[in-house]
Chains A and B, each alone.
Chain A
Amino acid sequence: MDASRLRGQEFAIRTGSTAAVEPVRVDVSGLTKSFGQVHAVTDLSFSVEPGSVTGFLGPNGAGKTTTLRALLGLIHPDAGTASFNGAPYRALPAPIRTVGAVLETAFHPARSGRNHLRVYCRAAGLPLARADEVLVQVGLGEAGRRRAGGYSLGMRQRLALATALLGDPSVLVLDEPANGLDPEGIQWLRGFIRHLAHDEGRTVLVSSHLLSEVEQTVDRVVIVGAGRLVREGTMAELRSGADGAGTVLVRSPEAARLAAALREDGTQIRSEDGDALTVTGRTPAEVGSRAFAAGIELHELRAESSDLEEIYFKLTAGQEQFAAPSPGSPTQETAR
């Protein structure tokens, strides 16, 4: 990784092919920002690695959007820095060729999606044809010629994503990109994000207030609550590190033999039900490799998401900005 190359280089324009992307690491260090009396973000530090998808999680009002906007130079932090391979956003020579961002879905309603994209092609010195390429890439195609004011919420999200992709950036910063997408759109977005990071080597930072929304997509998580870092690490670390540990559901025609093999390693088996085992304190990868080593056929292997959701909930409990007492809310049980 070479920051000087990043600064001086022209980036080839691709349509999402397999060509290598300049690896860019994102570092946030000591970020602090207050709006009047509200401490939006306090001394927040984390990093985002190239070639991976990092989930930026936290309840509403945890400071996610403030952090992302400060990262992109739209907000001046009171203290701390945010950089791309060491350079702050404002110092990037052609910022949208390094970083693409989806922050909000706001367009001039009278301008067509295609013309919206062409504005930023002009501003960044990109060929106008790039607008049509990204429209196809996000599945808008012909709709790009219609006025953006008539777009559905899902189409707006796709146009925002197209705007982020214009400069074929090494880094993608996506703030709640699944908002307004239908289930099919969310499925498409997940696949698209994984492809951008894993196949093309881009750095992806995607925020969400729902762990379940991103847990199938992200490799790492940065969890914030009330403007402070709560947890940073891989999904596996999150599962095994929190109280109650991770729970893995595994199905095998040789469930009994697998259970014995796992117990040999000191793994807890919470329940055995026919061909299904519920294993705690292990990741799916660990269970899978143990089964593979023992030559045991598996039919299903997955993390129990409800437990992960519970871990996330425990980590961020009591840190919502707008805590409302509601009958039957689990807040009472899990508050620290």
Chain B
Amino acid sequence: MIRLVRAEWTKLFTTRVWIAMLLGACAMVGGFAALLTGFAGNPESGIPAVGTPLFEQLALAQSTNATVLTLILGVIGMTQEYRHRTATPTFLTAPRRGHVVVAKVIAYALAAVPFAVVVVAVNLLVVTVYAGARGAAPELNGDNLEVMLTSGLSLAIYAIIGVGIGALLRNQVGAIVGALVYLFVIEQVIRSIPATSGAYKWMPGGGLEAMTATFQGPELLGAWQGGLLLLGYGLVAAVLGTFLAVRRDIV
């Protein structure tokens, strides 16, 4: 299993997808953090003022926006085997295909950890410098550290979900488009309709919000429950994908 995990890392780091995703995540998170800090305390924006605990937690949770990129990274990690037909040599080397899926889950979860550290660090840097310039850099107190930790963890968990979705759908474009449409359209609709918003807390977006949200929103689970829920979604998708899709004939 260690061999297969290392093989997945070799695959990941011998193309440039990870660099693009990391740079994209840093730019995205840095940008959101800067925007948020810039409009902090502006009465029209509704963003709390710099120096308040609410602002600091909100600003430091911007890393979670990059979950969409670690999700895509995981999807690509799994579906590239089918897109570029490397599934053939991969499954010739490791004929027990479930082992390959497990190795990918482990490899992407662990690779997402340094990825998350960099993204969270960029987030902290931008907020510290900009908010510091506007009067009050955030302190590294318990609440702020917890937000940073859960934000970073959410990045790793979304990479696992990506691998799971990829295993289930096998088609790269379909899996990415499907995941984005789900996250940005379907869940937003469910969240906003009163009749279905009760179910939202059990959905991936609800789990993510539970982990890191500081705004007032719909009813949510606790942070750790949300994290476990997300992890469960990723693992269920990976297991279902293994049995329903990955074990199919490679023709």
Which A residues fall within an 8 A CB radius of B?
A: 35, 66, 69, 72-76, 89-90, 92, 95-96, 99, 101, 103-104, 106-112, 115-116, 118-120, 122-125, 163
Chain A minimum-CB-distance residue to B90: A123
Task: Indicate if B134 sits at the interface (CB-CB under 8 A).
Answer: no
Give chain B residues whose Cβ lies under 8 Å from the Cβ of A76. Answer: 249
Q: Of B11, B95, B249, which is within 8 A of A119 by CB?
A: B11
Contact yes or no, A111 B88, CB < 8 A: no
Further contacts, 4 of them, CB under 8 A, given A116-B14, A119-B14: A74-B92, A74-B249, A118-B10, A122-B10
Assess the B15–A119 pair: CB atoms within 8 A: no
Q: Which residues of B are found within 8 Å of A119, using beta-carbon distances?
A: 7, 10-11, 14
Chain A nearest CB, measured from B105 CB (Å): 16
* Cα A96 to Cα B249 with chains together (Å): 19
Complex Cα gap A323–B11 (Å)? 43
Enumerate chain B interface residues (CB-CB to A < 8 A).
Answer: 3-4, 6-7, 10-11, 14-17, 80, 84-86, 88-96, 249-251
Contact B3 A125 (CB under 8 A): yes
Q: Which residues of A contact B95 (CB under 8 A)?
A: 73, 89-90, 92, 95
A108: chain B residues at CB < 8 Å are: 11, 15, 80, 84, 86
Contact B14 A106 (CB under 8 A): no
Nearest B-chain residue to A72, judged by Cβ: B92
**16 intermolecular pairs with C-beta atoms under 8 Å apart:** A35-B251, A69-B250, A74-B91, A74-B251, A90-B95, A90-B96, A95-B93, A101-B92, A108-B86, A110-B16, A115-B14, A119-B10, A119-B11, A123-B93, A123-B94, A124-B3
B91 CB contacts on chain A under 8 angstroms: 73-74
How far does the alpha carbon of A106 sit from the alpha carbon of B93 in the complex, in Å?
15
In the assembled complex, which residues on chain B have CB atoms less than 8 Å from the CB atom of A69?
Answer: 249-251
CB-based contact B89/A120 at 8 Å: yes
- Is B92's CB under 8 angstroms from A96's CB? yes
Distance from A32 Cβ to chain B, minimum over Cβ atoms (Å): 14
Please give, as numbers and ranges, the residues of chain B lying within 8 Å of A103 by CB-CB distance.
Answer: 88
Q: What's the Cα separation between A108 and B13 when bound, in Å?
A: 13
> Chain B residues near A107 (CB, 8 Å)?
84, 86
Residues of B within 8 A of A120 (CB): 7, 89, 93
How distant is B110 from chain A, measured CB to nearest CB, in Å? 15
- Cα(A112)–Cα(B250), bound, Å: 24
User: Is A109 in contact with B92, judged by CB distance below 8 angstroms?
Assistant: no
A124 and B88: CB pair below 8 A? no
B88 touches A106 (CB 8 A): yes
Residues of A within 8 A of B6 (CB): 122-123
B93 in complex: contacting residue of A90, A96, A110, A112, CB < 8 Å: A96
Complex: A90 Cα to B85 Cα, angstroms: 20
Residues in A whose Cβ lies below 8 Å from that of B84: 106-109
Bound CA–CA A216/B7 (angstroms): 39
The CA-CA distance from A72 to B94 in the complex, in Å, is 11
B9 to chain A, nearest CB (A): 8
Q: What 3 A-B pairs are tightest by C-beta distance, nearest first?
A: A106-B85, A123-B7, A115-B14
Question: How many Å lie between the Cα of A96 and that of B16 in the bound state?
Answer: 28
A95 to B11, CA, bound (A): 20
Is the beta-carbon distance between A123 and B251 smaller than 8 angstroms? no
Q: Cβ of B3: which chain A residues have Cβ within 8 Å of it?
A: 122-125
- In the assembled complex, which residues on chain B have CB atoms less than 8 Å from the CB atom of A109? 84
Kindly list chain A residues whose C-beta atoms are within 8 Å of the C-beta of B250. Answer: 69, 74-75
Residues of B with C-beta under 8 A to A124: 3, 93
Q: Which residues does chain A contribute within 8 Å of B90, judged by CB atoms?
A: 123
Question: Whole-angstrom distance from the CB of A71 to the nearest CB of chain B?
Answer: 11
**A116 CB, min distance to chain B CBs, angstroms:** 8
Tell me the smallest distance from the CB of B172 to a CB of chain A, in Å.
12
B80, B93, B249 — most chain A CB neighbours (10 Å) = B93
Q: Which residue of B lies closest to A166 (CB)?
A: B93
With a CB–CB cut-off of 8 A, which chain B residues contact A106? 84-86, 88
Kindly identify which residue among B11, B17, B86, B249 contacts A75, using a CB–CB cutoff of 8 Å: B249
| Whole-angstrom CA separation of A107 from B85 in the bound complex | 7
* Contact partners of A115 in chain B: CB under 8 A: 10, 14
A66 to B250, CA, bound (A): 10
- Closest-CB distance, B246 to chain A (whole angstroms): 12
Cα A120 to Cα B92 with chains together (Å): 10
B5 — nearest CB in chain A belongs to which residue?
A: A122
B113 to chain A, nearest CB (A): 20
Distance of A105 Cα from B3 Cα, bound (Å): 24
Determine the distance from Cα of A125 to Cα of B4 in the docked complex, in whole angstroms: 9
State A15–B16 Cα separation when bound (angstroms): 32
Query: Which chain B residues lie closer than 8 Å to A95 at the CB level?
Result: 92-93, 95
Bound form: Cα–Cα A73–B95 in Å: 7
A116 CB contacts on chain B under 8 angstroms: 14
In the assembled complex, which residues on chain A have CB atoms less than 8 Å from the CB atom of B17?
A: 110
